[in-house]
């Protein structure tokens, strides 16, 4: 193995390790967030039980459902991307070759996903910082005092999506690179 191939091999391994680390982080956060769904079901049952059987209401419990709902959808977005759960145009996409699918994934991530995440991150930054600076609380007297934590999801969601998008670009690019390399090697053998 010459020095150029060795460097390419090491770089390939390093990049793959980055994608694997991002995937592991996304998988870990997704599994943690998925428990919030179970907690939401429990809290909803508790709220209904308290309201209709004991005639007791709790603003804090109702707001906690909103917090959990936001957590599930905003923090679950990167997990859903990793698991290929987002809507795609399967009518056409499934008929394409794996090479074409990888190209579409790379271009779609670079042209659509990443710019949208950057815009959301940029537009949300001051809004979230402002909320943190005043330690924003609920406007309800018995509400939760952590609105600033809820609003933080507006910057963690695009950050996590950007990371997972980077992982998807890396994995698809490595697939394309390996495919081109194997075609070149098989062409040189002929």
pLDDT in 10s for each residue of the chain, 190 residues: 677 777 777 888 899 999 999 999 999 999 999 999 999 999 999 999 998 888 888 888 889 999 999 999 999 999 999 998 776 666 777 788 888 989 989 999 999 999 999 999 999 999 999 999 999 888 888 888 889 999 999 999 999 999 999 999 999 999 988 776 666 666 655 5
Phi, psi of 60 (to 5 degrees): -60, -45
Distance CA 150, CA 169 (A): 29
Q: DSSP of 62-96, one letter per residue?
A: HHHHHHHHHHHHHHHHHHHHHTT-S---HHHHTTS
> How confident is the model at residue 89, as a pLDDT?
60
Q: Are 162 and 119 in contact (CB under 8 A)?
A: no
CA distances from 58 to 48, 151, 181 (A): 10, 22, 62
Distance CA 98, CA 35 (A): 34
Q: Are 143 and 62 in contact (CB under 8 A)?
A: no
Q: Are 148 and 127 in contact (CB under 8 A)?
A: no
In a domain, 17, yes or no: yes
In a domain, 189, yes or no: no
Buried b / exposed e across 63-79, counting CB within 10 Å, b at 16+? bbeebbebbbebbbbbb
In a domain, 19, yes or no: yes
Distance CA 28, CA 1 (A): 37
> Which two tokens mark 170?
């890396």
The pTM assigned to this predicted structure is 0.84
In a domain, 190, yes or no: no
Distance CA 80, CA 160 (A): 11
Question: Which residue range is the domain that position 62 belongs to?
Answer: 3-184
> How many domains does the chain fold into?
1
> How confident is the model at residue 9, as a pLDDT?
77
> How confident is the model at residue 178, as a pLDDT?
77
Phi, psi of 143 (to 5 degrees): -80, 175
In a domain, 48, yes or no: yes
């Amino acid at each position: 193995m010459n020095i150029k191939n060795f460097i390419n091999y090491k770089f390939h391994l390093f990049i793959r390790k980055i994608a694997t680390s991002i995937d592991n982080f996304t998988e870990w956060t997704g599994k943690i967030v998925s428990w919030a769904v179970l907690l939401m079901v429990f809290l909803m049952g508790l709220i209904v039980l308290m309201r209709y059987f004991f005639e007791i209401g709790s603003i804090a419990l109702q707001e906690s459902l909103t917090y959990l709902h936001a957590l599930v959808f905003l923090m679950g977005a990167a997990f859903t991307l990793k698991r290929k759960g987002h809507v795609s145009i399967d009518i056409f996409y499934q008929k394409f070759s794996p090479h074409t699918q990888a190209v579409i994934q790379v271009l779609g991530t670079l042209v659509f996903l990443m710019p949208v995440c950057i815009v959301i991150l940029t537009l949300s930054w001051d809004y979230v910082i402002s909320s943190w600076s005043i330690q924003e609380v609920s406007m309800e007297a018995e509400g939760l005092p952590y609105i600033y934590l809820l609003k933080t999801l507006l910057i963690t969601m695009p950050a996590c999506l950007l990371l997972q998008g980077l992982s998807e670009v890396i994995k698809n690019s490595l697939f394309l690179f390996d495919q081109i390399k194997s075609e070149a090697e098989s062409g040189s053998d002929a």
